[in-house]
C-alpha cells in the first residue's frame, strides 16, 4: 500500500524537525498510540491500538527507526508493527522544505499489511490510512502552534 502526500506546517523547518524527533509529540500524533519511547538513536518502540472495519481494535507492538537523517531536511522511517491480528512493515521518506507558508513536508510510504487485518480489503485500508495520516498531521499542527504560542519553538529532541 502506498501512502503519499504533502502538508504545510505554519512554522520554521527546524521546529518542525524537532517535533518529528520528539517521542512525546509522536505519541500524540499517532492515532491509537498507548505509549512511545526513545530506545536508541532514532529508534522508538511502543504500543498502539487500532481497529479497521470489522476487525476490532487490538494492541500492536510498534518499532519505528529513523535512518539517513539529514537535519533539518529529510529522513527515512522504517516501521514494523505486529499483533494478534496481523502486521505492518514498510518504509517512508520524509522531506521538509522551507516554503512561503512555513515548512512543507512531503512524504511517501510503501507499507505491507498482512494477517487478518489485511482481509478487510485494500479500499478500506487505503481510506483508514488516509484518515490516520490526516489525524496525525492535525495533531502535529496543534502541537506546533502550541509551542510557537508559548515561545518554545526549539522543542526537545
**Domain boundaries defined on the chain:** 2-150
pLDDT in tens, 79-133: 998 988 788 899 999 999 999 989 999 999 998 888 877 676 666 677 777 877 8
Which band of pLDDT confidence, cut at 50, 70 and 90, is reported for residue 24?
A: confident
Mean pLDDT score, 10-34: 87
Q: What integer is the mean pLDDT of 63-81?
A: 94
pLDDT at 156: 42
Say what the pLDDT of residue 38 is: 92
pLDDT at 155: 45
Cβ contacts of residue 140 below 8 Å, gap of 6+? 9, 16, 19, 20, 25, 29
- pLDDT at 138 > cutoff 80: yes
Cβ atoms 137, 26 nearer than 8 A: no
Question: What torsion do the CA atoms of 123, 20, 145, 36 make, to the nearest 10 degrees?
Answer: 80
In which band, very low, low, confident or very high, does the pLDDT at 54 lie, cut at 50, 70 and 90?
low
Question: What are the cell numbers at 143?
Answer: 502541537
Mean pLDDT in residue range 40-47: 92
- Report which DSSP code applies to 150: H
Average pLDDT value for the chain: 85
134 preceded by a cis bond (ω within 30 of 0): no
Q: In what order do the strands lie in the sheet with 55-70?
A: 2-9, 102-114, 86-99, 74-83, 55-70, 43-52, 33-40
CATH number assigned to the domain covering 2-150: 3.30.530.20
Q: What is the pLDDT of residue 74?
A: 97
Structure-model confidence comparison of residues 40 and 86, the more confident one: 40
Please give the pLDDT value at position 111: 86
Helix (H, G, I), strand (E, B) or coil at 85: coil
DSSP element (H, E) containing 61: strand 55-70
Return d(Cα 62, Cα 89) in angstroms, integer.
Answer: 10
The span from the CA of 135 to the CA of 41, in Å, is: 26
pLDDT of residue 129: 78
Amino acid at each position: 500500500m502506498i501512502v503519499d502526500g504533502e502538508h504545510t506546517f505554519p512554522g520554521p523547518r527546524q521546529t518542525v524537525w524537532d517535533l518529528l524527533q520528539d517521542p512525546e509529540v509522536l505519541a500524540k500524533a499517532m492515532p491509537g498510540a498507548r505509549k512511545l519511547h526513545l530506545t536508541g538513536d532514532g529508534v522508538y518502540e511502543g504500543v498502539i491500538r487500532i481497529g479497521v472495519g470489522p476487525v476490532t481494535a487490538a494492541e500492536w507492538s510498534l518499532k519505528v527507526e529513523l535512518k539517513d537523517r539529514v537535519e533539518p531536511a529529510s529522513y527515512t522511517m522504517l516501521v514494523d508493527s505486529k499483533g494478534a491480528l496481523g502486521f505492518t512493515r514498510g518504509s517512508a521518506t520524509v522531506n521538509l522544505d522551507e516554503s512561503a507558508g512555513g515548512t512543507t513536508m512531503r512524504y511517501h510510504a510503501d507499507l505491507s499489511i498482512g494477517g487478518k487485518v489485511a482481509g478487510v480489503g485494500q479500499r478500506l485500508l487505503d481510506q483508514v490510512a488516509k484518515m490516520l495520516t490526516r489525524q496525525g498531521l492535525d495533531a502535529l499542527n496543534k502541537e506546533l502552534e502550541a509551542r510557537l504560542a508559548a515561545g518554545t519553538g526549539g522543542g526537545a529532541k
